[in-house]
Amino acid sequence: MATMQRLQNTGLELFYAQGYYDTSVDDILKKLDLSKGAFYYHFDSKEDYFIQIIQNLLARKIYSTLIEPIEGHDNPLTLITNCFDDAMETAVHNEMDYGCILSNFLSEFNGKNEVIMRHLNEIVTVWEVNLVTSLQKGKFNGYLDRHVDCEAAATFLMSSYFGVRTLMTSSAPSAKKYRFMSQLRQYFKSIEAKHVNS
């Protein structure tokens, strides 16, 4: 694999595990047995390096785990339920789970680095837009109650997901997941279309 790819991959790994400010360029270089020269040949600075990681790796990761799974014409509530369940199940079985990458970076850079924040917020917006669209389509297709505020629902869903991933890291992730999912279903039941059929 090309040096640049390896640098980005282990960069994301370490930044996720230790945070951006607590991970030095030397840490990454040591792990890959590379030199300063190799690093600064490919990247202008640590910040430039991180931004490229965001765009190349983080954005795709969020897309494949949180956005792509909810695209489709089925009931969005079902899709979202399964999507969250899958994502959390992966976290439960991951011994090195440190919460939602995106959420962690948001709180790490908030108020400290505007440039990086813009890139992170872009990803958040993409997720939000896709969620809203999915919910609106679901409403149009008769899965959701007509009175549901889709923007509000999207915000609520994103919030709860970010939060539960943080909470899962503190203790008993499996129990947290189970409890969260039960209440998510409860919430979904309250916004799904009341079937006036039969």
Partner DNA sequence: CTATAAAAAGACCACTTGGTCGGATTTACC
Partner DNA sequence: GGTAAATCCGACCAAGTGGTCTTTTTATAG
Instruction: Tell me which residues touch a second copy (CB under 8 A).
Output: 17-19, 21-22, 96, 98-99, 103-104, 106-108, 110-112, 117, 120-121, 124, 149, 151-153, 155-156, 158-164, 166-167, 169-171, 176, 178-180, 182-184, 186-187, 189-191
Give the three-state DSSP class for 192: strand
Dihedral sign (CA 147, 148, 151, 152): positive
In the list a second copy, DNA, none, the entry touching 53 (Cβ below 5 to 8 angstroms by class) is none
Stretch that binds DNA, among 44-52, 77-85, 86-94, 132-140 (CB under 7 A): 44-52
Amino acid letter for position 137: K
The reply on whether position 18 binds DNA by CB under 7 A is: no
Q: Which residues contact 34 (CB under 8 A, 6 or more apart)?
A: 3, 7
Q: Which two tokens stand for residue 26?
A: 């030397």
Task: Identify the CA nearest to 88 among candidates 196, 195, 184.
Answer: 184
Angstrom distances, CA of residue 179 to CA of 62, 160, 183: 23, 12, 7
Smallest gap from Cβ 33 to DNA, in A, equals 6
In the list a second copy, DNA, none, the entry touching 106 (Cβ below 5 to 8 angstroms by class) is a second copy
In the list a second copy, DNA, none, the entry touching 151 (Cβ below 5 to 8 angstroms by class) is a second copy
Q: Which two tokens stand for residue 53?
A: 């990681």
Task: Identify the CA nearest to 27 among candidates 47, 8, 11.
Answer: 11
In the list a second copy, DNA, none, the entry touching 34 (Cβ below 5 to 8 angstroms by class) is DNA
Binding site for DNA (CB under 7 A): 2-4, 23-27, 33-38, 40-42, 44-47
